[in-house]
Amino acid sequence: LNRRLNFPGHSISNITTNQYGAVWLVTDSRIMQVISTDQEPIIYEQEFGIQDNKILSFLIDREDNIWIGYSGGLQRLTGRKGLRNFYPGIINSYIHSVFQDDHNRIWIASDNGAFYFLDDQLVDFTPRTGYRNDRFTGTLLPGNNILLASNEGMVEVNGRNLEIVRRVSFNNMDNRLEDIFVTGKGEIFLLTGLEGAVYYLSDFNSEPVRFKNSFTTDLFNLVELNGRVIGGNNNGFVVFNGSEFELLQETGFRIWSLRKDENRLGVGADRGIGLVSDGEFDRVDLFPVDGEAVIRSINPARNRNYLWLGTNRGFSYFNSYTRETEFSIDSRDGLSGEEVTPGGLFLDRDDLLWVGTSHGISNFNIRAKSPASRAPVCYIEKMFLNGEPVRPESGKTLSHQENNLIFELSSLSFSEEGTVEYEYYLRGAGSAYNSYYRGNEYRAYYSNLPPGPYEFIYKARGNNHIWGYADKFDFVIRRAWYQTLAFRIILVISIISAISIYSLIRSRENRPEQETL
């Protein structure tokens, strides 16, 4: 297996398995997860979150969490592989926005300040803004410059050299900012969410105009669709008409988030997720997600058939074609907080999902969670002939008395025994004997088989529901000597000969009597 799995040259101190069938191999400095004997292991080391200490003990609990003991303490890794809390000692508050610039910096605007992450380094950009308030929101401008805002003012940052291009200060802005939205014309909207106010700037240097009515309350994000600025709240869909916000379409549900996709509009609500097509705001059918979770954020996945959904219960990977959730992750799995913020979901260019919550930010790598599924390899591990173990060699010829067979199958899938399903059947060529079985029983019993050639065909599938290739085992049961054609021919000839001899003897015995007469 070393050559097939490309194992590194390390001494293995512990081997264990989890409830999903993976085998874990522990060394002094790394942990290897083996999914199948047909693929290389996933290696967990310092770059993936393992502490830089010698591993002394290792445990997988009932919730599939990993516990690692070191000489200096204990570390817990969530069973949801690929999830990592991001600098929890520095960023541990509400996340307003996450985005990526053209130089691959990940920008994080939060109640802890404005940060960017590049080349494995987290940089606090807050001091360079010149503002005392740590609460920031931000967005990426069309020219790749960065716009950061707090209730003290806004700064535009050069996306190439990170110099401050321009700034503007706000006077008497008492509300704390939730989100920022910039239209194609350069208009700027500053949203305050629950505080109910929206500040409008016709351009960067203009004086903010404050709007506050029932249609600006609980506005968490805006989109631009067909030249109109549209949002949603507990009234339904609202629109900015150039001078104020007004009702566009009343709904019977509360809208938390909107996501534009070409000319369509994804709608996240308190009852599920919906879609607006062709501007028909009066025709929105909602589909519940995870027991009617509140959809607070929507982000398209790399696979166009899927959506990442941020909810009040973590985040979910949602199949928009089947309308089913493939998996969900929440604080019980190690997520930094239970509620994902309206601007908290972002998928970067490396397909890494950033998840901002009310208590910090995490990132999630779906490729680490979903190793390639492999079909299990099924083989005959043991064979019994009339109750005695024999080598399972195909092509055997058995005597007529060796007609009670047991095949014991095994599957190389690292799955729990109860989750492996077998399918096998015995087919007698040239006879009417056939036997078929499909289920969890790995022993196939056949008694008093009649003579003839047979094919035992078998395969298996693991808990990933993928069937392996079928294989077969051939054998022949000879007829007894008294069942052979030669014996029958000899028997017939013998009977005919006996009758002929008997007739001849009787004929000779009767001849003297006939002569006397």
Tokens encoding 397: 């010829």
Supply the CATH number for residue 30's domain. 2.40.10
Q: Do 507 and 425 share a domain, yes or no?
A: no
Q: What is the mean pLDDT of residues 473-478?
A: 92
- 84 in any annotated domain: no
- 422 in any annotated domain: yes
Q: Which residue has the tokens 């190389």?
A: 412
Q: Do 446 and 506 share a domain, yes or no?
A: no
255-288 tens-digit pLDDT = 999 999 877 899 999 989 999 988 899 888 888 8
Q: Do 388 and 469 share a domain, yes or no?
A: yes
Q: What is the mean pLDDT of residues 85-103?
A: 92
Please, are residues 258 and 231 in contact by the beta-carbon 8 Å criterion?
yes
208-259 tens-digit pLDDT = 999 999 999 999 999 999 899 999 999 999 999 999 999 999 998 999 999 9
Q: Do 448 and 467 share a domain, yes or no?
A: yes
Write out the residue range of the structural domain in which residue 505 sits: 485-517
- 472 in any annotated domain: yes
CA 312 to each of CA 223, 362, 491, 516: distance values in angstroms, whole numbers, following the listed order: 22, 15, 87, 124
Q: What is the spatial distance between Cα 94 and Cα 106, in angstroms, rounded to a whole number?
A: 17
Name the average pLDDT for the chain. 85
Q: Do 461 and 392 share a domain, yes or no?
A: yes
pLDDT at residue number 414: 45
Q: Do 388 and 477 share a domain, yes or no?
A: yes
Nearest to 362 by CA among 351, 372, 353: 353
pLDDT at residue number 445: 94
Nearest to 58 by CA among 12, 20, 21, 6: 12
Taken in order 279, 286, 337, 301, the sign of the CA dihedral is negative
Residue that finishes a domain, picked among 18, 44, 77: 77
Flag the least confident range among 46-60, 180-194, 470-484: 46-60
pLDDT at residue number 516: 60
Q: Do 398 and 412 share a domain, yes or no?
A: yes
Assess whether pLDDT exceeds 90 at residue 31.
no
Q: Which residues pair with 199 in a beta bridge?
A: 190, 210
pLDDT at residue number 367: 67
pLDDT at residue number 24: 83
Give the pLDDT band of residue 316 (cuts 50, 70, 90): very high
Distance from the Cα of residue 465 to its chain's centroid = 14
Q: Do 454 and 502 share a domain, yes or no?
A: no
With 0-12 / 13-18 / 19 or more C-beta atoms within 10 angstroms meaning exposed / middle / buried, residue 402 is middle
pLDDT at residue number 321: 82
Q: Do 517 and 424 share a domain, yes or no?
A: no
Nearest to 426 by CA among 411, 406, 402, 401: 406
Flag the least confident range among 48-52, 265-269, 296-300, 494-498: 48-52
203 or 515: whose pLDDT is higher? Answer: 203
Q: Which residues of 272-311 are buried (b: 16+ CB within 10 A; e: fewer)?
A: bbbbbeeeebeebebeebbeebbbbbbbebeeeebbbbbb
Give the pLDDT band of residue 34 (cuts 50, 70, 90): confident
pLDDT at residue number 405: 95
- 158 in any annotated domain: no
Q: Do 453 and 393 share a domain, yes or no?
A: yes
- 58 in any annotated domain: yes
| Widest CA span in the chain | 156
Q: Do 422 and 510 share a domain, yes or no?
A: no
Supply the CATH number for residue 436's domain. 2.60.40.10
pLDDT at residue number 298: 96
Give the pLDDT band of residue 128 (cuts 50, 70, 90): very high
Domains of the chain: total: 3
- 7 in any annotated domain: yes
- 181 in any annotated domain: no
pLDDT at residue number 330: 86
Strand pairing report for 396-398 and 471-477: parallel
Residue that finishes a domain, picked among 44, 61, 77: 77
pLDDT at residue number 291: 76
Q: Do 413 and 506 share a domain, yes or no?
A: no
Q: What is the spatial distance between Cα 327 and Cα 252, in angstroms, rounded to a whole number?
A: 28
- What is the rounded end-to-end Cα distance, in angstroms, of the chain? 98
Residue that finishes a domain, picked among 37, 56, 77: 77
pLDDT at residue number 49: 55
With 0-12 / 13-18 / 19 or more C-beta atoms within 10 angstroms meaning exposed / middle / buried, residue 390 is middle
- 221 in any annotated domain: no
pTM for the model stands at 0.61
Nearest to 29 by CA among 48, 8, 49, 46: 46
Assess whether pLDDT exceeds 90 at residue 476.
yes
Q: Which residues pair with 274 in a beta bridge?
A: 267
Assess whether pLDDT exceeds 50 at residue 416.
no
Q: Which residues pair with 114 in a beta bridge?
A: 109
Assign 333 to helix, strand or coil.
helix
